[in-house]
């Protein structure tokens, strides 16, 4: 289902379409508006320059988060590999214990 919602970013109205619900679209628009507003307040730049700098800041954050996500995925894979190794060791030890206990029963 496609949602359409009207938002205001940097004083301009936009109608956006998305498969995400209205609340999500509003939240994204508010974030972009805030980023542009912070740059406008600090630097008093043109709308285009503020939007470009906001886009750069947002892209920078995206790439940092993407790198962090990749690091977490790598750590998770390493932890799962270690768990599988430990499970194999436990299984081997159980077999050894069983084998030793069978030897004592004789």
Q: How many domains does the chain have?
A: 1
36 neighbors 10 (Cβ within 8 angstroms): yes
- Given a cut of 90, whether residue 22 has pLDDT beyond it is no
Query: Which range of residues forms the domain containing residue 96?
Result: 3-105
Could you tell me if 53 and 45 are in contact, meaning their C-beta atoms sit under 8 angstroms apart?
A: yes
Which residues have C-beta within 8 Å of that of residue 51, sequence separation ≥ 6? Answer: 10, 36
Tell me, what's the pLDDT at 106?
56
Note the pLDDT tens digit of each residue in 74-97: 999 999 999 999 999 999 999 999
Which tokens is 34 given? 């805030």
DSSP state of 8: E
Q: How confident is the model at residue 20 (pLDDT cuts 50, 70, 90)?
A: confident
pLDDT tens per residue, range 23-38: 889 999 999 999 999 9
């Amino acid at each position: 289902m496609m949602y359409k919602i009207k938002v205001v970013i940097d004083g301009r109205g936009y109608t956006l379409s998305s498969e995400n619900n209205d609340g999500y679209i509003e939240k994204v628009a508010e974030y972009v508006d805030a980023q542009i507003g912070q740059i406008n307040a600090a630097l008093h730049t043109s709308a285009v320059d503020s939007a470009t700098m906001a886009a750069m800041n947002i892209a920078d954050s995206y790439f940092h988060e993407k790198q962090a996500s990749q690091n977490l995925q790598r750590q998770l894979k390493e932890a799962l590999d270690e768990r599988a190794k430990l499970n194999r060791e436990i299984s081997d030890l159980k077999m050894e214990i069983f084998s030793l206990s069978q030897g004592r029963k004789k």
